[in-house]
Structure 1
Amino acid sequence: MTESALDPTELPSLEYRLDSYERLLRSFGAAGYEFTPFDPAEPPAEGEILLRHDVDLSIDRALAMAERERALGIQSTYCFLLSAPAYDLTRPQNVRVLQRISKLGHEIALHFDTHTYWAADDEPSAESIAAKVTEELAVLGRLVGEEPSTASFHIPPSWVLDRAFEAFTNTYAPPFFSEIDYRSDSSQKWVAAEPFPDSLAETLQLLVHPGLWHADHRPMAEIVGDLRQQAHRQVDGYFDPLG
C-alpha cells in the first residue's frame, strides 16, 4: 500500500523505490504544487514544478516511472540519449517503449551528450552546439513520430549552463535553472540526506533519473555493475563469432 503523503520538507531520506518516488510526488500535490512542461514562452509560475527525467541507464525503468506518473495524473519530460551505451534507442522494442511513453502524455526530449563531439574544456560556438542538437532532435523525432524541441545536457559542461538557444529549449536556460530552485536525485544522494531539508521555493525544476529507481531499493553500484556486465556480454556475443 502506498504511504500517505507528507509535506516535501518533512520527508526523511528516501530509498530509491518507485513507491517512495510516488510518495514524493504525492507530497508535492498535497502541498499545492502542480507540474508543468518546459515552455520558453511561459516560464514556470509560482507553485509549479518542472519535472524532468534524464534517461541515462534504462529505457525500461523510464517506462515504469512514466506509467506510475500517468496513474497520478502527472505529466513530465523524458530526455533520451541517442548515444547511450546502456541502451540502443533505435531497436524496435525500444522505439515502442519511446512511443508508449509519449502516448502516456509525457513530453519526449533529447538528452544530448556534448562529450561525444567536444572536450569539456573546448567550448564550441553557439552555432555548432545548435547544429548538433537539432540534428539529434530530428533523429529522435523520426523515432517518436513528432520532432521534440527540448534538450537536456548529459553531465553538462559549464558552457551550456544558464544559456538559452534559439533553435531549441535548453533545460538549463536561466528561467528553468538559475532563476528558480533546482534539485536532483543524482548518485542516489537522497538515501543519506533529506530531499528537501529547507523550505521549498515557489518554483522548482526537479531532475529524477529513472534508472536509479526500482520496485525494491538497489544501490547505485549494483545497478551500474549489472549494466557493465550486460554490456560486456553484448560486446563479447558480437565479437566472439568473428574470431
Structure 2
Amino acid sequence: MKLLLVEDDLEMADALQVALSRHGIVLDSVTNLAAAREAVAMSDYEIVLIDRQLPDGDGSSLLAEMRNSGKSARSIIISALGSTRERISGLNEGADDYLPKPFEIDELIARISAVLRRAPVPGSQILVAGNLAYDRSTLDIHVEGSRLVLTRRELLILETLLRNRGRTVLRSSLEENVYSFNEEIQSNTLEANMSRLRRKLAEAGANIVIKNIRGIGYFLHEPE
C-alpha cells in the first residue's frame, strides 16, 4: 500500500520511512502543505498521515481540500497537539483517526490497519485471485491454505496487480505504487522483482499468471 506523510520533522519522517517499509508500506514524504497538495493531486494514496503544525499552516486544512477534490484517501492526524479539545477538533474536521505524539510505531501500524478496515468496500481487506488470497491487514498470502513468503517489493507488486484485477496496470503506475518518489529506480529493477515473484507463485502452485503486454504493462491472468 502507498501512504503520504506530511511532516516537517525530518528525523521523524526518516524513522517512519524505515519502520513502515518493514510492513510493506511505500511512504512518500513531504514537509509542507504546498508539497502535500501537489503529491495528492499526482498520486492516489490510501492514507495520508498529517502533522498539524506545518511551516505553511495547519495540516488539518488539507482534509477538506481532499474531500472537495474527490480524493478517497483516508487520513490520520499525527500531532503534538494532543489535548482532548484538539483531538475532537481534528476528527470533526474530517480525520479518520488522531494519534498524539509521541507514539509507538506498533500503535501507528495498528491504527493504519483499523482505518483500512473501515474502507467503503466491504471485504476489501481480503484480495483473492484464483487459489491465492492476500490479507492486507496482516500482509499474509496463502495459496491453497499454504503461506507464501515474499519480499517487500514482490508483495507490493502483487498487491497492486490484485487491486487492479481485470485491468492492465501501466508500468509507470506499477512503479509509482512500488517505489516512493524519492527512491532512484534502476532500469531493470521492476523486471528483476517481477521475475522472482512469478517464480515464487509458480513454485507455490498458484494458478494465476502475471502476463506482460510489451511496452505497456502487466495484468493478472486467472483460470477460467
Name the TM-score, length of structure 2 as normaliser: 0.36
Higher strand share: 2
Higher RCO (C-alpha 8 Å, min separation 6)? 1
